[in-house]
Amino acid sequence: MPLKWEKPDEGAPAQTGASSHAPAPAPRKRLTLWPHRSLPERGFALFILITYAMFTLPLMALLGTAALWGMLPFLLGVLGLMWYFLRRNYRDGTLNEVLTLWDDRVELVRTNPRGPVQRWEANPYWVRVAIHPEGGPVPDYVTLRGSDRTVEIGAFLSPDERKALYRDLLHEFG
């Protein structure tokens, strides 16, 4: 499942000696969400190599003919477009959301692949978690409400993963 809860280490403070102010408290928990990646980098390279080999095999019969020069641009164009769109899919997969919980606030940071970073903060006491089985952009749409604003979380997850996320968030925010 493309989500991971982290609990920061609670060790001795790194700073010693007197200071004029206390260091910022460490977060209690951090949740990181990312889209599912069904084709890893190694699989991408293997896919392109196999596609290239499959295109080259029929071209062997056309060696020395004018038909080779008629087919070659189209096959190379298809291979190039596959490369481009798979790479673009990887860039779009850099989307992630990080929900960080402190005792006195909660922060959601969404990093978009081709857009600005979006931030939302609220007091965890007032945060309400909701799931919308229908009517949202995706089934089982999960939202957080706080600070007079409603934000989505995990819209890129599968419906089962969003239900599990909702249960986790409900446990955290009550």
- Per residue in 89-128, pLDDT (tens digit) is 888 878 899 999 999 999 999 999 888 999 999 999 999 9
Q: Is 101 inside any structural domain?
A: yes
Domain identity same for 101 and 85: no
**Which DSSP string corresponds to the chain?**
--EEEE-------S--S--SSPPPPPPSEEEEE----SS-HHHHHHHHHHHHHHHHHHHHTTTTSHHHHHHHHHHHHHHHHHHHHHHHHHHHTT-EEEEEE-SS-EEEEEE-TTS-EEEEEE-GGG-EEEEESSSSSSTTEEEEEETTEEEE--TTS-HHHHHHHHHHHHHHH-
Determine the Cα–Cα distance for residues 127 and 146; give it in Å rounded to an integer. Answer: 5
Do 148 and 119 have their domain in common? yes
pLDDT confidence tier of residue 135, bands split at 50, 70 and 90: confident
Counted domains in the chain: 2
Does 128 share its domain with 168?
A: yes
Which residues are 153's β-sheet partners?
A: none
Same domain, 84 and 124: no
Residues 31 and 110 in one domain: yes
Same domain assignment for residues 113 and 66? no
Range of the domain at 109: 27-36+97-173
The reply to whether the predicted model has a pTM over 0.85 is no
Strand-pairing partners, residue 98, are 32, 109
Contacts 24+ apart (CB under 8 A), 80-87: 82/48, 82/51, 83/48, 86/39, 86/44, 86/47, 86/48
Residue 159 backbone phi and psi in degrees, to 5: -55, -40
Is 10 domain-assigned?
no
154 and 110: one domain? Answer: yes
What are the tens digits of pLDDT across the range 45-89?
Answer: 999 999 999 988 888 888 889 988 999 999 999 999 999 999 988
Domain contains 152: yes
Specify whether 81 is located in the same domain as 162.
Answer: no
50 and 130 part of one domain: no
Residue 78 lies in a domain: yes
